[in-house]
């Protein structure tokens, strides 16, 4: 796809008497599509099409921001949504651009690959009649070894050499086109790897509170949110179980985190239970899935003792609000509270819930709304008690971290007091029940992922880079030598004739290569063996680069 | 150590300013000289006309102006050369101060000085100026481009110090990985070369217009610049050099992202803009290699690439929030 003029011209087809119009149209469209100009336009379109993906919030990255955008721009957002503004990289138009681009690319590299393989198998072409017409030309005395000596010098410099009678043709720099083709093929493989990951990959996010009673096993239902590829069979997810044993977070005095480490017990089917550590930047690699540490927080342990003296404990994670001090909000709900032990009947209007604000390090004086440090230096839990029908029985899915607003609005749930608690403190409510803040446990936010395409991506990226280097720094060029005068056409050089035999040399750079003149001169002097030892072999690329710079200044 | 680093940055900016002014003086004196030469051109041409019969004269005459002209131009040409040399020395001194500022910053922080946007911009600009000095050593005739380069340096480094400055802090855990060194160093390096690449690119566009006979404002600046072909060549060399490094850096970033965030590519704003830059520069290299695309069209694509790089360096940190939010701006 890079150098158009490099492709050997296809022989003109014999004009057909009755060209099929449809075929002609198809052929012309195909030629248009695979032309460099189209590819450039498509590349440009691809760049432009990616811009909205960074300007607008994207649903697969931050769905909550998309919702915010909808509330902020109620008119614009639905229209943008219709044209895929919030799912740019999965939208029809973005896909259309890259699919066209890749079609164009495949259409371009396939014939080039065929041509290149043919070139690789063929011999360097015969020397043109007039070597003095070539960009580089020189005449030298036939070296002592004759034509074989010339061929030998060229071979030592890794030229591909063909001797035809008293002519030597040599070519070098096939790496350029090879690299070019590898690069573009790798791009196709990268796309295939991405597609594979999309189809067969899956991921799930969830919170995991420390403690054996809170461990989880890998099923799709266990995740707060999942993304499953269209070809994923949820019944066949790897069946490991995780228990969070410990979580250590260290912070600087400024509150900036300095290190995280989670210790878990892993129970994989067919393997012994083991303990493992993982952290940011070093995920837990399991068979068929990787576990990534995304965040952490506190889950307050709240014990509620109802009016009949029965206690229940809630260890629910409180979500961090995004500040440095890990101020967190959450809900401890007790839908089964106040069940009359005599009748065994549950009065849904006596359900209890506490919405809370947890400050790991509360300030010294009110207002107690913002934690000052992420570790628990002065923990304080601010609770608001609610009583009434929490609306959990209705079967409507709702957030487990927030009280159902509708129930409060309709008066089904009433606020019955609020209180600040330190660990170990108890709050007696008016109805004789009590709530106790026992302390906290840590929780971590996990992302569990499986991407079967990642290995392919890695390998193809390696090839892509190697190909790119070859394509950018390789230089295809040809040189020709022909023994011209001296009469004694003794190409074998077995019997070196008198010094009158001359060799005409010509050089043709086939790609943009300003250092070629220097390389050619060097080659000629090496062949004519004019006394200077050939010390530049092996470094001629550097030299020619520098030569190129020098030449440009003229 | 950190305070020393801050002072060094200030001195580096001053040195870049000195270099810029010297380059400007050289430029101005060069224009004077050019005007004198134009005035002197007529008698020279007559000389040539007179000497048609003698082949030696025709070759010598255009390069050898008449004696009175040499005296007139000699003084200002000498001054221009002196100003140019001062500019190069000042640039080199500024680069050394710049490097010292980075080293002291790194020592103060006990890590590579690439942890936030301030340090990042300082490093990128240093790479740019170091690469410029290398180019200058190889092709001294490009010296006059230094005016544009030092102008860019003054603007970027001053922006870094005045707007982006943050005190030294250790890395956040997310950055605490050996991929930090691999990914960020290559990104910084390639960004520096790409940013440098815009200097010959813009110069080429101006010089090309000048060589095509345009004499309106931006093109007249290019009067004393090296030839369009040389500038175009340099533009290509810089971009072709930086592109594979940038590609590697993006791939390294993807490998790191797989370990840190669980996915190699997630269209984070920074990733998106890196993708855009990559596509634009790939477009430049393709356009450059295609004979049917004019060189100035290709070069415009490179200039567009420069703007996408700027967007990625500054715009993404300022306008968007994403996973790459380490800038320290708030």
Rounded Cα gap, residues A102 and A172, in angstroms? 30
Find chain B residues with C-beta within 8 A of A449's C-beta: 262-263
Does residue A367 have a cis bond before it (omega within 30 degrees)?
Answer: yes
Of A4, A256, A447, the CB nearest to B291: A4
Chain A interface, best mutation among B241, B264, B273, by max A CB count within 10 A: B264
**Is B25 within the bounds of a domain?**
no
- Residue A282 is given by DSSP the state B
Q: pLDDT: is A55 or A400 the higher one?
A: A55
Q: What's the confidence (pLDDT) of residue A277?
A: 93
Of A47, A258, A514, the CB nearest to B173: A258
Nearest chain B alpha carbon to A36: B290
Q: How many angstroms away from the CA of A325 is the closest CA of chain B?
A: 15
**Is B114 within the bounds of a domain?**
no
For residue A139, pLDDT beyond 60: yes
Q: Tell me: the pLDDT tens digits for A247-306?
A: 999 998 888 888 899 999 999 888 889 999 998 888 999 988 999 998 899 999 999 998
pLDDT above 70 covers a percentage of chain A that reads 88
Do A337 and A349 touch, CB atoms closer than 8 A?
no
Q: What's the confidence (pLDDT) of residue A207?
A: 92
For residue A2, pLDDT beyond 60: no
SS3 content of chain B, % helix, strand, coil (to 5): 80, 0, 20
Q: How many angstroms away from the CA of B11 is the closest CA of chain A?
A: 30
Q: What's the confidence (pLDDT) of residue A553?
A: 32
Q: How many angstroms away from the CA of A39 is the closest CA of chain B?
A: 9
Q: Sorting pLDDT into bands at 50, 70 and 90, what band is A486?
A: low
Q: How many angstroms away from the CA of B216 is the closest CA of chain A?
A: 26
Rounded Cα gap, residues B298 and A474, in angstroms? 21
Find chain B residues with C-beta within 8 A of A458's C-beta: 255
Q: What's the confidence (pLDDT) of residue A6?
A: 44
Q: Note whether B279 contacts A46, CB cutoff 8 Å.
A: yes
Q: Note whether A44 contacts B259, CB cutoff 8 Å.
A: no
For residue A321, pLDDT beyond 50: yes
Of B173, B254, B268, the CB nearest to A260: B173
Q: Note whether B139 contacts A549, CB cutoff 8 Å.
A: yes
Going B175 to B179 to B185 to B187, the CA torsion angle's sign is negative
Q: Sorting pLDDT into bands at 50, 70 and 90, what band is A185?
A: very high
**Is B84 within the bounds of a domain?**
no
Identify the weakest region by mean pLDDT among A316-320, A491-495, B64-68: B64-68
Q: What's the confidence (pLDDT) of residue B49?
A: 38
Find chain B residues with C-beta within 8 A of A553's C-beta: 139, 141-142, 226, 230
Residues near B323 by beta carbon (within 8 Å), at least 6 away in sequence: B261, B266, B268, B270
Rounded Cα gap, residues B173 and A125, in angstroms? 60
Identify the weakest region by mean pLDDT among A119-128, A321-330, B212-221: B212-221
Q: What's the confidence (pLDDT) of residue A427?
A: 93
Taking only residues 5 to 44 of chain A, the set having a beta carbon closer than 8 angstroms to any beta carbon of chain B reads 5, 36-37, 39-40, 43-44
**Phi/psi of residue A211, nearest 5 degrees:** 115, 145
Q: How many angstroms away from the CA of B300 is the closest CA of chain A?
A: 12
Q: Note whether A53 contacts B267, CB cutoff 8 Å.
A: yes
Do B252 and B186 touch, CB atoms closer than 8 A?
yes
For residue A345, pLDDT beyond 50: yes
A549 CB within 8 Å of a chain B CB: yes
Rounded Cα gap, residues B242 and B163, in angstroms? 28
Which residue shows structure tokens 């669980």? B262
CB atoms within 10 A of CB A186: 21
Q: How many angstroms away from the CA of B230 is the closest CA of chain A?
A: 5
A91 CB within 8 Å of a chain B CB: no
Which residue shows structure tokens 């008698």? B43
Q: What's the confidence (pLDDT) of residue A292?
A: 92
Nearest chain A alpha carbon to B328: A256
A203 CB within 8 Å of a chain B CB: yes
Q: Note whether A281 contacts B260, CB cutoff 8 Å.
A: yes
Do B265 and A60 touch, CB atoms closer than 8 A?
no
**Is B61 within the bounds of a domain?**
no
Nearest chain A alpha carbon to B136: A549
The predicted model gives A63-76 an average pLDDT of 87
Rounded Cα gap, residues A196 and B193, in angstroms? 35
Q: Note whether B276 contacts A50, CB cutoff 8 Å.
A: yes
Rounded Cα gap, residues A166 and B3, in angstroms? 74
Rounded Cα gap, residues A289 and A278, in angstroms? 14
Q: What's the confidence (pLDDT) of residue B175?
A: 78
Domains of chain B: total: 1
The helix (H) or strand (E) run that includes residue A388 is: strand A380-388
Find chain B residues with C-beta within 8 A of A472's C-beta: 240, 243-244, 285
Most confident by average pLDDT, A177-191, A323-337, B208-222, B262-276 = A177-191
**Is B94 within the bounds of a domain?**
no
For residue A349, pLDDT beyond 50: yes
Of B247, B266, B320, the CB nearest to A54: B320
The predicted model gives A401-416 an average pLDDT of 84
Q: What's the confidence (pLDDT) of residue A478?
A: 92
A552 CB within 8 Å of a chain B CB: yes
Cα end-to-end distance, chain B, whole Å:
25
Q: How many angstroms away from the CA of B17 is the closest CA of chain A?
A: 27
Rounded Cα gap, residues B312 and B310, in angstroms? 5
Find chain A residues with C-beta within 8 A of B169's C-beta: 252, 254, 256
A1 CB within 8 Å of a chain B CB: yes
Q: Sorting pLDDT into bands at 50, 70 and 90, what band is A485?
A: low
Q: What is the mean pLDDT of chain A?
A: 84
Residue A440: Cβ-neighbour burial (10 angstroms; 0-12, 13-18, 19+): buried
Do A421 and A378 touch, CB atoms closer than 8 A?
no
Of A47, A290, A548, the CB nearest to B276: A47
Find chain A residues with C-beta within 8 A of B273's C-beta: 54
Residues near A358 by beta carbon (within 8 Å), at least 6 away in sequence: A298, A300, A318, A327, A328, A329, A330, A371, A379, A380, A381, A382, A440
The two tokens of residue B309 are 């790089």
The two tokens of residue B298 are 């290709």
Q: How many angstroms away from the CA of B162 is the closest CA of chain A?
A: 23
A553 CB within 8 Å of a chain B CB: yes
Q: Taking chain B (330 residues) in consecutive chunks of 10 residues, what is each chunk's mean pLDDT?
A: 86 91 83 51 42 38 41 67 89 93 88 84 90 89 86 88 81 79 90 91 91 83 83 93 95 91 86 94 92 90 93 82 65
Q: How many angstroms away from the CA of A448 is the closest CA of chain B?
A: 8
Q: How far, in Å, are A278, A294, A322, A408, B173 from residue A206 at the CA level?
A: 16, 10, 17, 28, 21
Residues β-bridged to residue A420? A382
Q: What's the confidence (pLDDT) of residue B82?
A: 87
**Is B321 within the bounds of a domain?**
yes
What is the residue range of B210's domain? 171-330
Q: What's the confidence (pLDDT) of residue A281?
A: 86
Do B280 and A467 touch, CB atoms closer than 8 A?
no
pLDDT above 90 covers a percentage of chain A that reads 41
The two tokens of residue A523 are 């080659």
Find chain A residues with C-beta within 8 A of B142's C-beta: 553
Q: What count of CB pairs under 8 Å joins A to B?
A: 152
Q: Note whether B244 contacts A472, CB cutoff 8 Å.
A: yes
Rounded Cα gap, residues A433 and A310, in angstroms? 9
Cα end-to-end distance, chain A, whole Å:
31
The two tokens of residue A210 are 């420390």
Supply the ipTM of this predicted assembly.
Answer: 0.81
Rounded Cα gap, residues A436 and A421, in angstroms? 8
A254 CB within 8 Å of a chain B CB: yes
CB atoms within 10 A of CB B299: 28
Nearest chain B alpha carbon to A514: B233
Q: Sorting pLDDT into bands at 50, 70 and 90, what band is A92?
A: very high
For residue A107, pLDDT beyond 80: yes
Give the SS3 label for residue A355: strand
Rounded Cα gap, residues A74 and A541, in angstroms? 61
**Is B236 within the bounds of a domain?**
yes
Q: Note whether A2 contacts B289, CB cutoff 8 Å.
A: yes
Q: How many angstroms away from the CA of B126 is the closest CA of chain A?
A: 23
Residues near A455 by beta carbon (within 8 Å), at least 6 away in sequence: A193
Nearest chain A alpha carbon to B227: A553
Do A367 and A327 touch, CB atoms closer than 8 A?
no
Q: What's the confidence (pLDDT) of residue B138?
A: 87
A101 CB within 8 Å of a chain B CB: no
Q: Note whether B279 contacts A549, CB cutoff 8 Å.
A: no
Rounded Cα gap, residues A79 and A86, in angstroms? 10
Rounded Cα gap, residues B249 and A139, in angstroms? 47
Nearest chain B alpha carbon to A291: B262
For residue A490, pLDDT beyond 70: no
SS3 assignment for A312-346? EEEECCCEECCCCCCCEEEEEEECCCCECCCCCCE
Of A260, A281, A548, the CB nearest to B177: A281
Q: How many angstroms away from the CA of A393 is the closest CA of chain B?
A: 37
Q: Note whether A548 contacts B233, CB cutoff 8 Å.
A: yes
Of B234, B247, B260, the CB nearest to A468: B247
**Is B215 within the bounds of a domain?**
yes
CB atoms within 10 A of CB B198: 24
A512 CB within 8 Å of a chain B CB: yes
Q: Note whether B263 contacts A281, CB cutoff 8 Å.
A: no
């Amino acid at each position: 796809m890079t150098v158009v003029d490099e492709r050997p011209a296809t022989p003109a087809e014999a004009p057909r008497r009755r060209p099929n119009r449809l075929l002609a149209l198809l052929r012309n469209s195909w030629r248009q599509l695979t032309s460099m100009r189209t590819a450039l336009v498509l590349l440009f379109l691809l760049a432009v099409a990616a811009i909205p993906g960074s300007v607008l919030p994207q649903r697969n990255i931050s769905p909550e921001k998309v919702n915010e955008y909808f509330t902020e721009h109620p008119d614009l957002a639905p229209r943008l949504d219709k044209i895929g503004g919030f799912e740019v990289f999965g939208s029809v138009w973005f896909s259309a651009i890259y699919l066209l681009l890749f079609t164009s690319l495949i259409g371009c590299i396939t014939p080039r690959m065929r041509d290149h393989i043919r070139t690789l198998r063929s011999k360097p072409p015969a020397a043109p009649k007039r070597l003095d017409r070539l960009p580089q030309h020189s005449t030298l005395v036939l070296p002592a070894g004759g034509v074989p000596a010339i061929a030998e010098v060229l071979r030592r410099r890794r030229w591909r050499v063909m001797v035809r009678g008293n002519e030597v043709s040599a070519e070098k720099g096939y790496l350029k086109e090879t690299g070019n083709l590898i690069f573009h093929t790798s791009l196709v493989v990268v796309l295939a790897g991405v597609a594979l990951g999309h189809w067969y990959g899956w991921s799930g996010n969830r919170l995991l509170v420390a403690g054996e009673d809170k461990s989880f096993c890998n099923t799709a239902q266990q995740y707060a949110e999942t993304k499953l590829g269209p070809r994923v069979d949820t019944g066949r997810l790897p069946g490991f179980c995780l228990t969070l044993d410990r979580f250590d977070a260290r912070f600087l005095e400024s509150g900036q985190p300095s290190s995280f480490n989670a210790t878990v017990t892993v129970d994989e089917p067919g393997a012994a239970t083991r303990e493992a550590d993982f952290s940011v930047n070093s995920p837990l690699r399991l068979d068929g899935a990787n576990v990534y540490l995304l965040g952490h927080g506190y889950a307050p342990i709240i014990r509620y003792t109802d009016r009949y003296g029965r206690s229940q404990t809630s260890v629910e994670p409180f979500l961090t609000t995004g500040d440095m001090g890990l101020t967190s909000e959450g809900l401890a709900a007790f839908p089964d509270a106040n069940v009359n032990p005599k009748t065994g009947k549950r009065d849904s209007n006596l359900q209890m819930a506490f919405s809370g604000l947890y400050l790991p390090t509360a300030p010294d004086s009110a207002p107690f709304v913002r934690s000052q440090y992420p570790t628990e230096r002065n923990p304080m839990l601010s609770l608001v008690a609610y009583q009434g029908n929490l609306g959990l029985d209705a079967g409507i899915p709702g957030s487990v971290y927030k009280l159902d607003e509708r129930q409060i609005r309709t008066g089904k749930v009433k606020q019955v007091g609020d209180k600040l608690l330190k660990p170990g403190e108890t709050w007696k409510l008016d109805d004789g029940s009590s709530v106790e803040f026992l302390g906290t446990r840590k929780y971590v936010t996990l992302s569990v992922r499986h991407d079967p395409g990642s290995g392919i991506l890695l390998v193809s990226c390696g090839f892509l880079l190697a190909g790119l280097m070859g394509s950018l720094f390789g230089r295809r060029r040809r040189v020709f030598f022909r023994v011209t005068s001296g009469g004694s056409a003794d190409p074998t050089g077995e019997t070196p004739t008198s010094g009158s035999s001359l060799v005409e040399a010509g050089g043709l750079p086939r790609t943009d290569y300003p250092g070629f003149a220097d390389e050619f001169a060097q080659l000629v002097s090496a062949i004519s063996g004019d006394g200077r030892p050939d010390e530049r072999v092996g470094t001629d690329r550097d030299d020619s680069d520098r030569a190129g710079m020098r030449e440009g200044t003229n | 150590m950190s305070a020393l680093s801050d002072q060094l940055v200030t001195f580096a900016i001053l040195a870049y300013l000195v270099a810029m002014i010297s380059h400007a003086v050289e430029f101005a004196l060069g224009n004077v000289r050019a005007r004198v030469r134009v005035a002197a051109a007529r008698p020279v041409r007559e000389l040539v006309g007179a000497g048609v019969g003698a082949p030696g004269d025709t070759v010598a005459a255009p390069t050898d102006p008449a004696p009175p002209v040499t005296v007139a131009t000699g003084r200002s040409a000498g001054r221009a050369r002196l100003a140019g040399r001062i500019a190069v020395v000042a640039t080199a001194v500024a680069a050394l101060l710049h490097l010292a500022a980075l080293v002291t910053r790194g020592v103060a922080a006990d890590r590579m000085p690439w942890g936030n946007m301030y340090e990042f911009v300082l490093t990128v600009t240093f790479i740019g100026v170091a690469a410029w000095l290398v180019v200058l050593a190889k092709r001294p005739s490009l010296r006059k481009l230094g005016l544009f380069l030092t102008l860019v340096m003054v603007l970027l480094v001053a922006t870094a110090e005045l707007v982006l400055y943050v005190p030294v802090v250790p890395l956040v855990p997310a950055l605490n990985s050996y991929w930090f060194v691999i990914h960020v160093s290559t990104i910084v390096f390639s960004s520096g070369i790409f940013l440098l690449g815009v200097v010959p690119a813009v110069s080429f566009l101006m010089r090309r217009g000048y060589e095509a006979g345009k004499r309106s404002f931006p093109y007249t600046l290019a009067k004393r610049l090296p030839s369009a072909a040389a500038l175009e060549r340099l533009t290509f060399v810089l971009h072709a050099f930086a592109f594979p490094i940038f590609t590697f850096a993006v791939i390294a970033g993807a490998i790191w992202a797989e370990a840190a965030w669980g996915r190699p590519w997630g269209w984070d704003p920074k990733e998106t803009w890196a993708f855009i830059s990559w596509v634009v520069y790939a477009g430049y290299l393709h356009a450059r290699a295609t004979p049917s695309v004019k060189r100035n069209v290709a070069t415009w694509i490179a200039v567009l690439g420069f703007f996408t790089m700027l967007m990625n360096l500054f715009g993404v940190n300022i306008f968007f929030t994403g996973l790459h939010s380490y800038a320290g701006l708030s």
